[in-house]
Structure 1
Amino acid sequence: MIRALLFQVFLGLVAADNGLSAWVRYAPLANSHHFHYAIPSKIVALNTTETSPVYTAGQELQDGLQGIFGKQVTVEHAKCPAASSVVIGTVDEYTKVYGKLQNSPELVEDGFWLSTKGSEVQILGQNERAALYGAFEYLSMLAQGNFSQVAYASNPSAPIRWINQWDNMDGSIERGYGGQSIFFSNGTIVQNLTRATEYARLLASVGINGIIVNNVNANSSLLNETNIIGLGRIADAMRPYGVRIGISLDFASPMEYGLPTFDPLDPSVIEWWTNKTEALYQQVPDMAGYLVKADSEGQPGPLTYNRTLAQGGNLFAKALQPYGGIVMFRAFVYNQLNESDWRADRANAAVDFFKPLDGEFDDNVVVQIKYGPIDFQVREPTSPLFANLHKTSTAIELEITQEYLGQQCHLVYLPPLWKTVLDFDLRVDNKSSIVRNIISGQRFNRPLGGSAGVANVGTNTTWLGSILSQSNLYAYGRLAWQPAQDPESILQDWIRLTFGLDTNVLNAITQMSMESWPAYENYSGNLGIQTLTDILYTHYGPNPQSQDGNGWGQWTRADHLTIGMDRTVTNGTGFSGQYPPEVASMYEDIATTPDNLLLWFHHVNYTHPLHSGETVIQHFYNAHYSGALTAQTFLQLWQTLKGKIDPERYEEVLFRLTYQAGHSIVWRDAITNFYNNLSGIPDEAQRVGHHPWRIEAESMTLSGYMPYAVSPFETASNYTAIVTTSNTTVGTASTVLAYPSGTYDLAVNFYDLYGGISEYKIYINDKQTAAFSADYVDVARLGHTPSIYLDGHSATRITFPGVKVAKGDTFKIVGTPGGIEPAPLDYVAFLPAGVVD
């Protein structure tokens, strides 16, 4: 109640912000001068070493109090009691100076004690970085206007709370949508590591204690002498925030440095890795360890020499053991498959490869398991591997970067998706076996475990490419610390810290974010069919047919009558049998399989009735229309916040939500048209293929333009677009309008190709009404993987509201090509108020 009242008192000021400080911006609180009594008059940091996280915490507290309250508070390191002070340090150091705490907290590694009761604020960590975590917790309370009197211990659920960066040595980032690498450029470590320090600050603020700085598809050049020295500089930049660095390894590196083999049992290979590890620890004495991707997607590994994956992992484990380092060994191991084999199933691979090796990995090896059996899809069942490794430490791999899920151009708040796995009970031996308790090490009494989040932040000032996507990075840290937390509560903390305490802002962003994953699932792929994106090219736009007819195993097995993978033991791939009996029986029986995973486990007719009463095909139609309609509301909600959020961030989010509103319709139309065409079953609501407010570009009078058959066909309305007859020809498409006179929203569907910027001008009766540029990808206004084709990735829709027309008016759009982009157009639509199309 106190906190709720304070939210009404303290409304954050609308100040300029480019997103760089994210949720640790320490924005001023309105009327904060009334509460100076609650602000400590002095900070006592019990460490004078400038690289110490305790020293950093003192500086962070000083900056935070100055920013939030406008009050300069001194930092002292004198070891003496001080009334009205905040004392920060380790429990051991505090005890040496002040004596034993009255209520000695029970703290595990990285745990902290926070007390705001009494004459001093106590922030005490089990170790130094833990004290820093406590400082951030305290500042988070103050920044949200929370002056509650508290005294509690906070312990992380698991020791491993790491970030994975898929940064390449050339400075690019695989599946990164926020700019270039903050660590690498032109094959070496960058000279200016300021952003690395700023990143460490963000990570520490949510309790992240480790980071793998390079891509799992590793380059052995990272291990040359120059780059090992550079890794030492990265470690130095991040150490004051308690973030330990580690690296990904190329398993075949010894051959790149002159050895004739990389066999993990060869003595020369063992010696090579032992020496290389020693060289790394000379530069990075507190290195966290190694991440290994082996025998997967073309990456070399121990199977090359008929060695087991455990023998491969233990090669590195033994090299790290003298230094206390950890090997994170990815379970993402699979082979390409023959789709004609009905029992072939990529989902089976992790258990097939790793279950026989349970107990063979050294104790400092942790098997890093993706949350689902395939690859970061919009919905997957929990990986059964979590239930099959009882003698091996495990960690869950979550993807913060939205590879298959909108690539930061679509708002998708991911924690509700993650929680479907973290909270899932696998019922091993008919006992409670919740995934979060397995990865913590609790369920099977393992010494290690935790979380790895693939973040892929870059040089963009918003880090991830979108301010709203920062909520996923923030929430990942919070859930890695304590995975039982509520995603909505975490989200609302992030909103207050990022945008201030206005309840209108809080309510609008909460609604948008909490509805975003269900909406994206609805307009991309539902019923467990996976995200129906292009898996062969960009992993971004719609292309359902790309799922089948290849060896990658993300199959839908869709034909004109049926759809879905049969993963039953009785008649399918046997995947359901990889679960413990209680779970296996649920998925084996179509009657007890949840609708939202039906097509993951069962192959059915399009007319198969769901538990909801809808048929599969009608659910596809309804869900895709519903999801796209919800995406329109995100834009409307955001527009209600104009003036309540600083202009820079308001406009950045407005641009992306406008884009999402349009691209969700691209998704909706592509998927519904594809399955309507494939099944031949009409939409009962007569929406699919019926667009009375559209004018197809190819039906207009064309000059300098020509029709173009788009592939895949479903990514163009009526399967056809228009392009200029050459890359130097200006095209004109015109028509006489037959709509009733009135005011409309004018929607234009076009294609934004990488490699050129086309310009478009719109005229009504030869008077220019609007203009726009297809510059979303070429000038990085959007960070998604671009396309050089007319397809679902490049398809884009822009809307101009309030266009007045009269029946009989002449509409004309003029396209000027740029580079390889031939000013492509799909259709225009004149939409009455409230009509989405």
Structure 2
Amino acid sequence: MRGLLLFATLGLAAAEDGLNAWLRYARLPPDIAKQATVPLNIVALNTTETSPVYVAGQELQKGIKGILDRSLNITHEASEGSSVVVGTIAAFNNSGISIGTPELEQDGFWLSIKGDTVEIVGQNERGALYGAFEYLSMLAQANFTEVAYATNPSAAIRWINQWDNMDGTIERGYAGPSIFFKGNAPVSNVTRVAEYARLLASIRVNGIVINNVNANAQILSDANMAGIARIADAMRPWGVKVGISLNFASPQTFGGLNTFDPLDKSVIAWWTKITDKLYQHVPDLAGFLVKANSEGQPGPLTYGRTLSDGANLFAKAAKPHGGIVMFRAFVYDNQHLNERNWKDDRANAAVDFFRGLDEKFDDNVVVQVKYGPIDFQVREPPSPLFAHLKQTASAIELQVTQEYLGQQCHLVYLPPLWKTILDFDLRVDGEKSVIGTDILSGKRFNKKGLTGYAAVVNVGQNATWLGSHLAMSNLYGYGRLAWDPTVNEVEILEDWTRLTFGLDDTVRETITRMSMESWPAYENYTGNLGIQTLTDITGPHYGPNPQSMDNNAWGQWTRADAFSIGMDRTVKNGTGFAGQYPTEVAAVFEEIETTPDDLLLWFHHVPYTHVLKNGKTVIQHFYDAHYAGAETAATFPTQWAKLEGLIDKQRFDETAFRLTYQAGHAIVWRDSINQFYNSLSGIADAHDRVNNHPWRVEAESMTLRGYRVTSVNPFEVASGLRIVQTVGNSSSASVSAKLNFTAGTYDVAVAYYDLYEGKASYELFLNDKSIGSWVGDNEYKLGYTVTRGIDGHSATRITFKGVDVKEGDVVRVDAKANGRETAPLDYIAVLPPGVVD
């Protein structure tokens, strides 16, 4: 906890910045704490200060003191009496403590709580640490149940992929600079690195790749290897092994060779020497992550070699050291996809590239497969490649960082999305082949021991780690699902909420309800029916820009025209992608009648007038869904407001700001997508909402002083297709209009554009009385990919509630441009309470 004590309605609540996340160890109320039976001592069966068991003892002491205000001594030798004993099976046996545990697998643990005796037994030291965190999680949630159970991980690999660059920036990072790199070198102060390792250990993550998959070869310098060793030393006590991403062309660009051909003897010798040197610095290096021949990255295909040739190059070098190679299946040629060719399909790429290689990978290669065939979209079918890798180890790649999903500025709880993939039965050879429990566990193809999970998690130096307090539920949820993919997403959420915000039922129920509504709402207002997230794929991947999906070689096409929409991925008439699935699944997706509506446009090209199973046409569903999604997002600030006083002020205010922003940006999304497809199809909304905004006063129709009327790009991100902006980059301006609304109390919203590299100032007046002022400074408050354009990324709204308005009142906005921000305004909305514009 940090900051000043602030008065809350239920007593004094300390301001928190989020750094402790779900490991707050907040003090339980005395009447609850006194119900806990806690041993008098802690016995950690290891005296080495860098060992996970030793660390577990320290963590138990810290947690019990924080939660229950009880100070326990730590010893390292077993003794009679009341104790929490933590250690490995071997350590228990050596200490003379008799235990009878079920068989434990690597990283598994046994937890026994009986009266004032607690036994935490790990199969290894990591497992013992995980068990300690499990016990503390129970205490923190006031769960004092006597238990005796063993738990084992569903998969051996439970890794994080950082997309951190060596200069300290982060690709798709929304929470500040890297905690791993600065100035083209690993950081020297690893305090924050160790804090991150502690968080990861608490959710049973056992490995991390610390640099971007678009790797910089300079990471292999001697000085940088020493830096990697510092990071590994900081994470090792928490049982988190460090790995690195490699650039395939390093022998040429860094090593001075004239080739990086994976079959060239000099290249093989170079990688062997580099790998040996890496393991001298970090003897327990987890291994390597490789992105090759994708999005312009070099790889074995450059020399006509196979992907397995490339993966095995690294596997052979790492094998003597016990290292593994995570080889990404995200391989596609974005230079030669042609939308006019009805058979071209980026979704086909993974299976096309890896087909026929299943038996050709070395046994320490793991093919890392994105959960869907495209790229972390709001809804995709599962990648069919999982069904083709029967001999090769595989891992699923998820994304905690919300690249296409609101970039941590929109609340989107992701485990329900991930569960649609993990719970999917691929029916390989007609047998049960559920991705989470059968395939990723290794059971289905007898690959147990080298399968699992990887997640892109771009934490930064922001105290909240991900830039948003609520987004941390996704990191917590990832760890829980990687350990056990059958765990219920609501159970995960409720546990996280209690650990993060306390035990109040209203807090738990509200955050659970909002979070469970968030993914369906986001899907509704961004892109539904399987059409993908209709964002700007040629730009920041944040705001709306549906036309950017087509007419380029990136392959995330909708193939929308004036009459129809969707990708025909059938075998009989389309790209053939549906045929990449096993027979039973392929048959479902091949036919419109059997394809679920939420994936209809992923697999089929249909007229806008095609009638869905719910009785609506495709286009009317689009209109309705986008309105429904924005209406749900509009409830988030109101729901959150009811928690004031139940959550510390700092986290309450920071979250309230983001949820209010999301409610406004959801309207930007709704209007942009609906306006675009209404313009493209020419089909009216049956409810006459699209392009009909009775509560708005368009800026271009107001009296202007110092403003000029302009269009925007893309056109649909402006209400009425026009906006106003100042005539100069530092000039003052105003808009004004007489209001013709019945007298009453209204919410007044102003739609404007908040650009990077400028802080325009605004003030809203009613009859010359100031209602409020603000500055265009979202780039300092939010972590989304900033933009210099007047577009769907910079579009935002600010709302002033409870304004008394009479017919004939004059509303005015005074503004002053600054830098690149020419104080752009779109409209003013005067809304009766409860009306979503």
2:303 corresponds in structure 1 to 305
With 735-744 and 19-28 compared, the bigger mean Cα shift is at 735-744
Residue 178 of structure 1 is matched in structure 2 by 175
Whether contact under 8 Å (2:33, 2:68) holds in the other structure is no
Residue 3 of structure 1 corresponds to which residue in structure 2? none
Number of residues paired by the alignment? 823
2:260 to 241, 259, 262: 262
Matches within 5 A, 1:769-788: 769-777=771-779, 779=780, 781-788=781-788
Deviation at residue 98 of structure 1 after TM alignment: 2.1
SS of 1:14 mapped into structure 2: strand
8 Å CA contact 2:200–2:206 kept in 1: the answer is yes
Tell me the equivalent position of 1:514: 516
Q: Is the 8 A contact 1:618 1:684 kept in 2?
A: yes
The alpha-carbon deviation at position 322 of structure 1 amounts to 0.6
Query: Does 2:72 align with 1:70?
Result: no
Matches within 5 A, 1:183-202: 183-202=180-199
1:13–1:28 CA contact under 8 A, matched in 2: no
Q: What letter is aligned with 1:209?
A: N
* Contact in 2 for aligned 1:13/1:30 (Cα 8 Å): no
Name 1:440's counterpart in structure 2: 441
Between 1:736-745 and 1:648-657, the stretch displaced more is 736-745
Q: What secondary structure, in the 3-state scheme, does the structure 2 residue paired with 1:567 have?
A: coil
Give 1:355 shift.
Answer: 1.9
Shift of 1:13: 7.5
The partner residue of 1:98 within 90, 96, 100 is: 96
Structure-1 separation of matches of 2:176 and 2:561: 40
Q: 1:33 to 1:813 in 2, by over 3 A?
A: closer
CA deviations on 1:61-105 (whole Å, 9 max, x unpaired) are: 00000100111111111x22232110001011101112441x232
Instruction: Tell me the amino acid that sits aligned with residue 475 of structure 1.
Output: G
Q: Give how far 1:200 is off.
A: 0.2
Which amino acid is the alignment partner of residue 828 of structure 2? V
Offset at residue 12 of structure 1 (A):
11
**Alpha-carbon distance between aligned partners in 2 of 1:391 and 1:12, rounded to the nearest angstrom:** 60
Change (3 A) 1:37 1:638: closer
Match of 1:319, as an amino acid?
A
- 2:24 is aligned to 25
Structure 2 CA distance for partners of 1:832 and 1:99, relative to 1, 3 Å: closer
Checking the alignment, whether the CA contact within 8 Å between 1:12 and 1:30 is kept in structure 2 is: no
Q: Deviations over 1:586-640 (max 9, x none)?
A: 0001000000000000000000000010000000000000000000111111000
Q: Give the distance between the partners of 2:408 and 2:681, measured in 1 at CA.
A: 32
CA distance in 2, matches of 1:531, 1:82: 61
| Cα drift, residue 37 of structure 1 | 5.5
Which residue pairs with 1:700 in the alignment?
702
Q: Distance in 1 between matches of 2:33 and 2:565?
A: 64
Q: Is 1:679 equivalent to 2:664 in the alignment?
A: no
**Aligned with 2:206 (options 209, 216, 219):** 209
Query: Which residue of structure 2 aligns with residue 282 of structure 1?
Result: 280
5+ residue gaps, structure 1, are 1-10
**Which residue of the partner structure matches residue 319 of structure 2?**
321
Structure 2 CA distance, aligned partners of 1:503 and 1:728?
51
* Cα deviation, residue 35, structure 1: 2.2
Paired position in structure 2 for 1:457: 459
Deviation at 1:580, TM superposition (A): 0.4
Q: How many angstroms apart in 2 are the aligned matches of 1:756 and 1:119? A: 61
Correspondences of 1:593-632 after superposition (within 5 Å): 593-632=595-634
Counterpart residue number, 1:123: 120
Question: What is the match of residue 6 of structure 2?
Answer: none
Offset at residue 14 of structure 1 (A): 3.4
Q: In the aligned structure 2, how far is the partner of 1:32 from the partner of 1:183?
A: 43
Provide the aligned C-alpha RMSD in A: 1.0
Could you tell me how far 1:32 is from its partner in structure 2? Answer: 5.2
For the residue of structure 2 that corresponds to 1:618, the secondary structure is helix
Query: 1:455 & 1:817 partners in 2: Cα distance?
Result: 37
Partner-residue secondary structure (3-state), 2:464: coil
Q: Deviations over 1:407-447 (max 9, x none)?
A: 00000000000000000000001000000121111110114
Q: Which residue of 2 aligns with 1:53?
A: 52
Q: Which residue of 1 aligns with 2:4?
A: none
Letter of the structure 1 residue corresponding to residue 818 of structure 2? G
Separation (CA, whole Å) in 2 of partners of 1:15 and 1:758: 34
What residue in structure 2 maps to residue 8 of structure 1? none
Q: Say if 1:12 and 1:502, in contact at 8 Å, map to a contact too.
A: no
Question: Distance between the aligned counterparts of 1:483 and 1:676, measured in 2?
Answer: 41
Tell me, in whole angstroms, the C-alpha distance in 2 between the residues paired with 1:631 and 1:625: 10
- 1:817 aligned partner: 817
**Distance in structure 1 (CA, Å) of the matches to 2:340 and 2:64:** 64
Partner residue in 1 for 2:416: 416
Show structure 2 runs of 5+ residues with no match: 1-9
- 1:765 deviates by 1.4
- Report SS of the residue matched to 1:356: coil
Give 3-state SS (helix, strand or coil) of 1:749's partner.
Answer: strand
Which residue of structure 2 aligns with residue 667 of structure 1? 669
1:153 is paired with a residue of what secondary structure?
strand
| Kept in 1: contact 2:498–2:508 (CA 8 A) | yes
Check if 1:528 corresponds to 2:530: yes
Alignment partner of 1:84 is 2:82: yes
Deviation for aligned residue 1:36: 6.5
Partners in 1 of 2:675 and 2:498 — Cα distance?
41
1:428 counterpart = 2:425? no
Q: Within 1, Cα distance between the matches of 2:791 and 2:33?
A: 58
Match of 1:687, SS? coil
Q: Which residue of 1 aligns with 2:690?
A: 688
Cα distance between partner residues in 1 of 2:506 and 2:543: 33
On the 8 A contact 1:12/1:499 being kept in 2, the answer is no
Q: 2:422 corresponds to which letter in structure 1?
A: L
| Residue in 1 that maps onto 2:754 | 752
Q: CA deviation at 1:729?
A: 1.2
Change (3 A) 1:686 1:441: same
Structure-2 separation of matches of 1:506 and 1:82: 40
Paired letter, 1:409: C
Q: What pairs with 1:514-663 in structure 2 (closer than 5 Å)?
A: 514-663=516-665
**How far apart in 2 are the matches of 1:34 and 1:587?**
54
- Residue by residue, what CA displacement relative to the aligned partner does 1:293-317 show, whole Å, maximum 9, x if unpaired? 0000010000011110001000000
In structure 1, the residue matched to 2:3 is none
- Work out the CA distance in 2 between the residues paired with 1:362 and 1:836: 57
Q: Quote the Cα distance in structure 2 between the aligned partners of 1:602 and 1:265.
A: 42
1:214 partner letter = N
Distance of 2:267 and 2:663 partners within structure 1: 54
- 1:24-69 deviations in Å (ceiling 9; x for gaps): 1100000257526511210000011110000100000000001001
Equivalent residue for 1:798?
Answer: 798
Alignment identity in percent?
64
* Contact 2:48-2:54 within 8 A present in 1 as well: yes
Looking at structure 1, the residues matched to 769 and 97 of structure 2 have their Cα atoms a distance apart, in angstroms, of: 81
TM-score for both structures, normalised by structure 1: 0.97
Q: Distance in 2 between matches of 1:171 and 1:106?
A: 44
Which residue in the other structure is 1:294 paired with? Answer: 292
User: In the alignment, which residue of structure 1 is the partner of 2:130?
Assistant: 133
